[in-house]
Structure 1
Amino acid sequence: MATIPSLPSRDDVLRMARNTTDITGQLLDTAGNITRIAINTFDPRDGSGSEALRVLRETTAELAEASESPQAQEAFYRIVDTLMRLGTSGAPLAVHPVSEPAQALLAALGDSLLPVLDAVEPAVEEFAAALGDLVEAASPLLPAAAGLAAGALLALTPVIRAAADVLEESNPELRRIADALTAALAPLLPLQVALAERAAAAGANVVRTTLAPLADLTEAAAATTKAARPVLVAGEEILVFGLEHLQPLLMTSASRAGRFARAAAVRVSAAVSPAAERGVVVAVSPV
């Protein structure tokens, strides 16, 4: 026999009544806010509501009128027809036998390229980092290069415009040249195709016959390089040693050349503008 549930206590009843009152008050506050927003939006007294309604009515009327025009109906029909044609013509390609070789080619390319990409990834990352460092180091030269490029483009613009005008005026002659070239080259195309087929066959035979000697030559070169590795390393060390000893001499020569250039610039500027400051004499002696 089922037991009779106990009645809620007075505190439980008061708590449920208080929660119900709070929830009802929150709902009423929300409804009041929504009503206030609607009244403020569509209030005809400040003009915003009536203006919004007017714009909405005009926009709806214009859209309805535009969609009812024969041009819009024809455009809709053409869009639907194009989508249906794309769907009906593109769907069979996925199951067509011609797509199987293409899928096999893509799979083979993916399988062949993945090891190559994995092998060159560290080198590419290192190259990208070095290139970024180079660009950052050469950043002071970028504005000058941009200015030179802009100047070159401005200088080439009249030439390009003149060439465009000449070509536009010579349009009939260009058509005659194109027709003559087409008439002269059209009979040669079948002969070129036959020659290309013969050249491809001959090239394939040459590659087949030269692969084995090339492999032997590569193996011999690899063995020679391996045997001559100590000599190459010694030569590289000698070259680096010479560069290290030439570096101070080059820096000294560059410094002297800079001093001479500055002295010449000062003398030239003084000779060009002698009336700038007659009481100041600048003399730079090379060291």
Structure 2
Amino acid sequence: MATIPSLPSRDEVLRMARSTTDITGQLLDTAGNITRIAINTLDPRDGSGAEALRVLRETTAELAEASASPQAQEAFYRIVDTLTRLGTTGAPLAVHPVSAPAQALLTVLGDSLLPVLDAVEPAVEEFTTALGDLVEAASPLLPAAAGVAAGVLLALTPLIRALADTLADASPELRRVAEALTAALAPLLPFQVALAQRAASAGGNILRATLPPLADLTEAAAATTKATAPMLVAGEELLLSALERVQPTLLAATSRAGRVARATAVRVTAAVSPSADQGVVVAVSTT
């Protein structure tokens, strides 16, 4: 038999009443502060409210004027037209029978890739961090790269526009080419499907026959690598030691080559474009 819960004591009732009263008081204080801030902001007596309303009216008028311009209206129409085309094109694809196998394929790929993504997540995070550091270190080169990219895009734009105009003018010929290709390839599709099925069967048999030797070869290679690991580590240690010994010499040679290059550049510059401040030497001979 269920037990009847005990009623709260007088102290508990008083404590809950005090808590409720405190929370209500804090809410009222907060509401009062918000109301006071709003009144002070919009109060026309000190000028701030009138200024805020004036700025709001000017901003609204400028937005209305900008949106009423022909350029803005044309941009709005183009955006709406683009969204309408996307919706009209995408809606049949969502209910097309082909979307069901595609969704199933995506589901299978997602379920299969989740463990792989979980396994490579630390490596991806480390790689992302290193890539961010590299981009930050190479940030002085980014404006130059952006300029080169902009120049390439500007150079390609006339070619793309000319190609688009040419294809638009040659649309009947393109339609004839497409119809000819369709008529030529349509009879070959059944044979291609049969050949693909035979190739898939043969490939499966070859793969099943190749996997056991491949597994044996992989195990042998792994055992060989494990046995030669100390030698590889020792070779890497020797290579690193040699690089560390050669590093000071390389740095000194690089510094010396830089000084020589700078001195040569100064001399070549002086020889090609001599300064105009040089005096003119006049030779006087007595006869």
TM-score interval, smaller chain: 0.5 to 0.7
Q: Secondary structure at the match of 2:247?
A: helix
Listed one character per residue, the Cα deviations across residues 145-169 of structure 1 (whole Å, up to 9, x for unaligned) are 1111111112222222232233333
1:275 deviation in Å? 4.0
Instruction: Say if 1:191 and 1:103 are closer, same or farther in 2 by CA, change over 3 A.
Output: closer
Q: Tell me the matched-pair count.
A: 186
Letter in 1 for 2:214: L
The 5-angstrom pairing of residues 154-165 of structure 1 reads 154-165=154-165
1:261–1:177: structure 2 CA closer, same or farther, 3 Å change rule?
farther
Aligned to 1:140: 140
Alpha-carbon RMSD across the aligned residues, in angstroms, is 3.4
Structure 1 CA distance for aligned equivalents of residues 117 and 269 of structure 2: 59
Deviations along 1:63-94, whole A, 9 cap, x unmatched?
Answer: xxxxxxxxxxxxxxxxxxxxxxx9xx98xx9x
Deviation at 1:127, TM superposition (A): 0.9
Corresponding residue for 1:203? 203
1:162, 1:196 → 2: CA distance? 40
Tell me the amino acid that sits aligned with residue 204 of structure 1. Answer: G
| 1:71 alignment partner in structure 2 | none
The residue correspondences of 1:169-180 to structure 2 (distance < 5 A) are 169-180=169-180
1:3-46 Cα distance to aligned partner (Å, 9 max, x none) = xxxxxxxxxxxxxxxxxxxxxxxxxxxxxxxxxxxxxxxxxxxx
Runs of 4+ off more than 6 Å: 102-105
Q: Judge which range, 133-142 or 270-279, deviates more.
A: 270-279
Q: Secondary structure at the match of 1:187?
A: helix
SS of 2:209's partner is: helix
Aligned-pair CA distance for 1:195 = 1.0
Relative to structure 1, the CA distance from residue 267 to residue 114 in structure 2 (aligned partners, 3 Å threshold; closer, same or farther) is same
Secondary structure at the counterpart of residue 278 of structure 2: coil
- Counterpart in 2 of 1:257? 257
Q: Deviations over 1:84-121 (max 9, x none)?
A: xx9xx98xx9xxxxx8xx77984x65654443233212
Residue number in structure 1 paired with 2:222: 222
Q: How far apart, in 1, do the equivalents of 2:272 and 2:165 lie?
A: 45
Q: TM-score, normalised by structure 1?
A: 0.56
Structure 1 unaligned blocks of 5 or more: 1-85, 94-98, 280-287
Which residue of 2 is the match for residue 241 of structure 1? Answer: 241
Match in the other structure for 1:117? 117
RCO higher in structure (CA 8 A, sep ≥6): 1
TM-score where L is the length of structure 2: 0.56
Larger Rg: 1
